[in-house]
Amino acid sequence: MGEFFITLFLFVSVAAITFVIFSSWAVVLAFKGIGRLFGNLLADSGRANQKCANQICGQVNPPTAQFCRRCGRALRPRFV
Ligand SMILES: [Zn+2]
């Protein structure tokens, strides 16, 4: 009967260790996901309309634009 309890104890402890490792991994993964989500939100909110650097033009372009709509001048790169 003693052997059964030892086996049960070992099984439970292994299961507990596995659970702890898995839950900590899941928490780390969740935090990483949340961080990425917030990073994206901040990056999106940080994007404002881009005014053309050309003094004569001065066209206001959308945040995603890489080149000026009016004069075709290259705007600031998207990857800042
Ligand atoms: Zn322009």
Question: Is pTM beyond 0.75 here?
Answer: no
What's the pLDDT at 23? 96
CA of 60 to the centre of ligand 1 (A): 8
What's the rounded Cα separation, in Å, for the pair 71 and 9?
75
- Domain residue limits at 66: 48-80
Residues 30 and 59 occupy one common structural domain: no
CA of 27 to the centre of ligand 1 (A): 47
The DSSP H or E segment spanning 18 is: helix 2-46
In the chain, DSSP finds a helix count (H) and a strand count (E) of: 1, 2
Residue pair 62/49 in contact (Cβ under 8 Å)? The answer is yes
What's the pLDDT at 43? 65
What's the pLDDT at 76? 72
Domain count, the chain: 2
What's the pLDDT at 8? 94
CA of 46 to the centre of ligand 1 (A): 21
Residues 42 and 57 occupy one common structural domain: no
Residues 52 and 80 occupy one common structural domain: yes
Which portions of the chain are predicted below pLDDT 50? 80
What's the pLDDT at 18? 96
